[in-house]
Amino acid sequence: MSSVIRILSFGDNVVDCYRDQQMMFPGGNCVNHAVFARRAGAETAYAGAVCDDAAGRLIRQALVDEGVDVASLRTASGQTAYCVIATLNGERQFVGANLGPSIIAPSAADLARLSAFDAVHTGRSSHVDAWLARFGAVTRVSYDMATVRDPARIAQVAPHCFLLAFSGGDLSGAATLALAQEARHRGAVWSLVTRGAEGALMIGPNGVWECASRRVSAVDTLGAGDTHIAHVLVGLLRGTAPDRILSDAAQAAADTCLMHGAFGYGAPMAVDLTDMMTLDEIYQTTRPAPEAF
Pairing mode, strands 43-51 and 73-76:
parallel
Mean pLDDT of 86-115: 88
* Exposed e or buried b per residue across 54-91, where buried means at least 16 C-beta atoms within 10 angstroms of its C-beta: bbbbbbbebbeebebbbebbeebeebbbbbbbebeeee
Q: How much is the pLDDT for 220? A: 86
pLDDT at 156 over 90: yes
Compute the CA torsion angle 10, 14, 15, 19 (nearest 10 deg): -150
Given pLDDT bands bounded at 50, 70 and 90, which one contains residue 91?
Answer: low
What counts of helices (H) and strands (E) characterise the chain?
A: 9, 14
The Cα–Cα gap between 256 and 232 comes to 15
Q: What does pTM read for this prediction?
A: 0.95
The Cα–Cα gap between 127 and 11 comes to 8
Q: How much is the pLDDT for 288? A: 87
Q: How much is the pLDDT for 77? A: 95
The Cα–Cα gap between 17 and 267 comes to 10
| CATH architecture type of domain 6-285 | 3-Layer(aba) Sandwich (3.40)
The Cα–Cα gap between 135 and 7 comes to 12
pLDDT at 289 over 90: no
| Integer-rounded Cα radius of gyration of the chain | 18
Chain centroid to CA 268: how far? 24
Cross-strand pairs, 91 = 88
Question: Longest Cα pair distance anywhere in the chain, in angstroms?
Answer: 51
Q: Worst-scoring range by mean pLDDT, 31-35, 83-87, 143-147?
A: 83-87
What separation in angstroms does the CA of 215 have from each of 148, 252, 253? Answer: 26, 12, 10
What separation in angstroms does the CA of 267 have from each of 65, 77, 94, 102, 274? Answer: 15, 22, 19, 20, 20
